[in-house]
Chains A and B, each alone.
Chain A
Amino acid sequence: MDIVIQNLTKTYGPQKAVDNISFTVKTGEVLGFLGPNGAGKTTTMKAITSYLIPDSGEITVGSYSVSKEPQMVKKSIGYLPEHNSLYPEMDVIDYLQFVAELQGIPSSKIPGRILEMVEICGLEGEKHKKINELSKGYRQRVGLAQALIHDPAVLILDEPTTGLDPNQIVEIRELIRKIGREKTVLLSSHILAEVEATCDRIMIINKGKIVADGTSSELRKHAQGKEIVKITIEDADSEQVIKKIQSLDTVEWIDPLDETNAYEVQSRPNMSSRRDIFRLCSKEGWIITEMTPIQTKLEDIFHELTMKK
């Protein structure tokens, strides 16, 4: 089931939480929704689940329209909200039973589904505990279990790995990847490594607008084409170094770094300045002790896109 969002806008008071965004998530795709806090990720997700009614715009999940057939949409979606709130006084099993019944799973199949969820989400030891006795990581697993119990075609996960320990994070990511092969998954995060590890496609959203959309390598390329190297030059006067390197044809800019004698040099688009720098240094008698190409990190792209303007 594809999720299609067209011209979605949602305003809270004077602030546009989501500003006329459109995108599609295809079946079998894991889309990572990335953005700083307050960028509009959660609002968009809540609109897809029909919990929030948008000011304008149309959302369809499969062949169902969120505004016209919300009950059918809700049946097809498994949703893990950001603040994964569960009834504290309920047993894990009772809670899953309750959700399974609400989702309309035939009662003969419910025990089997619950067992399966307990196994997939690693809840074997806690299944008879009350939810308020569980640690945050286990509650998150119960949240995932309730989202998956009716085997939905679409999964919407709002920051699914918060509160998990590193081992659990790896497990949950693997689980999401596995699920993502046949389902449509939209997950949000502000952790870049997570999105990179789990998602086929990344969408960066800032101030309610989509600022980048593509695979992680596409996003990298977007910022690449400009080579950045870190160099350390000894036995030289740093003012001279900056002046002479800056005057090279292939160099766009040079910046001294905090470490002594270290600089960051960016080449002009589609050029490499490394040879020129070497020749210059040997001519001047400077000693190069380090020259390392710096790979553009997703962090930098994220930072650049979300801090601009």
Chain B
Amino acid sequence: MNQLWIICRRELNSFFDSLMAYIMIIAFLGFSGFFTWLYLADIFFNNQASLQVFFSIAYWTLFFFIPALTMGLLAEENRSGTIELLLTKPVQDWQVIMGKFASTLILIVIALLLTLPYYITVANIGSIDHGAVISGYIGLILMSAAYISIGIFASSISNNQIVGFLLALFIGIIFHWIFGMISMTISGFFGELFHSLSTQAHFDSMSRGVIDIADILFFFSIIAIGLVGTASVMAKKHQ
């Protein structure tokens, strides 16, 4: 547990030292703030105060930002060879993976915490469904965790950060958009199946304030599959 935290802290420092963290946070706040308050601006025309617009913008911005954060996590260690020095310390593979996972998730949570002023302001304009906002935030965190897990897996496969980025986007878009699209065009069992594999479906229900056990299960399954996949790729390096 201690080793995990040491690795996590180093990664977080490196996010902030390399300005990655600041760029990501500023861009995220800028995008989501612009669309929430100015561009669509329906926040003032709706008779109900809600963060629906913010959630749907965050849904897409996080999808693009997360692969940029995760792309180098293992690819860069593989390329430069620092992974060898790290793994010859009294550290286990899973501690390295979880440390990196935790560092990125913490960064995303920091970015989301900084959007709390949006929530507070909107809540002051009119009556807001607090339950929906909380479950929407939980949905964003779970979705981010799932994409971080996919991103780390993509990063572990190659020595090239760009490959890590593109592969994470490619796997991500399948869940993020394609499954949802397919489920709309076909009906019956397969329609249901694709619907249940779509991030959009699970996130939408959460951002409206409905947390179903199936949603939680969906996100945790992706997280688990990504992390286990990463561990097996790393195990191969010892061969």
Residues of A near any B CB (own CB < 8 A): 46, 49-53, 71-72, 74-75, 77, 79, 81, 83-90, 94, 98-99, 101-104, 146
Interface 9-mer from B85-93, B116-124, B216-224: B85-93
CB-based contact A74/B6 at 8 Å: no
CA distance A98 to B9 in the complex (A): 9
| Nearest CB in chain B: distance from A17 CB, A | 12
CA distance A79 to B91 in the complex (A): 14
- Pick from B6, B17, B85: contact of A101, CB below 8 A: B6
CA distance A88 to B82 in the complex (A): 10
CB-based contact B6/A98 at 8 Å: yes
CB-based contact B90/A51 at 8 Å: no
Range for the number of chain B residues in contact with chain A: 20 to 34
SS class, residues of chain A in contact with chain B: loop
Tell me if B81 counts as interface (CB < 8 A to partner A): yes
The residues of A that contact B88 with a CB separation of less than 8 Å are 49-51, 74, 77, 79, 81
**Closest chain B residue to A81, Cβ basis:** B84
A-B pairs, top 4 by smallest CB distance, nearest first, are: A85-B81, A102-B89, A49-B88, A74-B90
SS class, residues of chain B in contact with chain A: helix
The residues of A that contact B91 with a CB separation of less than 8 Å are 74, 102
CB-based contact A51/B238 at 8 Å: yes
**Considering the complex, which residues of chain B in the window 69-92 have a beta carbon less than 8 Å from any beta carbon of chain A?**
80-82, 84-92
Contact string against A for B residues 90-118, beta-carbon threshold 8 Å, 1 for contact and 0 otherwise = 11100000000000000000000000000
Tell me if B3 counts as interface (CB < 8 A to partner A): yes
Tell me if B130 counts as interface (CB < 8 A to partner A): no
Known: A71-B90, A75-B90. A102 touches B6 (CB 8 A): yes
| Nearest CB in chain B: distance from A285 CB, A | 67
CA distance A99 to B88 in the complex (A): 11
| Nearest CB in chain B: distance from A72 CB, A | 8
CB-based contact A89/B14 at 8 Å: yes
CA distance A49 to B91 in the complex (A): 12
| Nearest CB in chain A: distance from B138 CB, A | 32
The residues of B that contact A103 with a CB separation of less than 8 Å are 89-90
**Closest chain A residue to B87, Cβ basis:** A51
CA distance A87 to B10 in the complex (A): 10
**28 A-B contact pairs sorted by A residue (CB < 8 Å):** A50-B88, A51-B87, A51-B88, A52-B238, A53-B238, A53-B239, A71-B90, A72-B90, A74-B88, A74-B89, A75-B90, A79-B85, A81-B81, A81-B84, A83-B84, A85-B81, A85-B84, A85-B85, A86-B82, A86-B85, A88-B80, A89-B14, A89-B18, A101-B6, A102-B3, A102-B91, A103-B90, A146-B85
**Closest chain B residue to A87, Cβ basis:** B82
CB-based contact B90/A85 at 8 Å: no
CA distance A99 to B82 in the complex (A): 12
Interface centre among A52, A53, A71, A87 (most CB of B within 10 A): A87
The residues of B that contact A74 with a CB separation of less than 8 Å are 88-91
CA distance A98 to B89 in the complex (A): 11
The residues of A that contact B86 with a CB separation of less than 8 Å are 102
CB-based contact B82/A89 at 8 Å: no
CA distance A101 to B80 in the complex (A): 22
The residues of A that contact B14 with a CB separation of less than 8 Å are 87, 89-90
| Nearest CB in chain A: distance from B6 CB, A | 5
| Nearest CB in chain A: distance from B185 CB, A | 47
CB-based contact B238/A89 at 8 Å: no
| Nearest CB in chain B: distance from A138 CB, A | 16
The residues of A that contact B6 with a CB separation of less than 8 Å are 98, 101-102
The residues of A that contact B18 with a CB separation of less than 8 Å are 89
CA distance A230 to B55 in the complex (A): 88
Known: A53-B238, A89-B18, A98-B10. A104 touches B90 (CB 8 A): yes
CA distance A119 to B238 in the complex (A): 35
The residues of B that contact A102 with a CB separation of less than 8 Å are 3, 6-7, 86, 89-91
CA distance A101 to B86 in the complex (A): 12
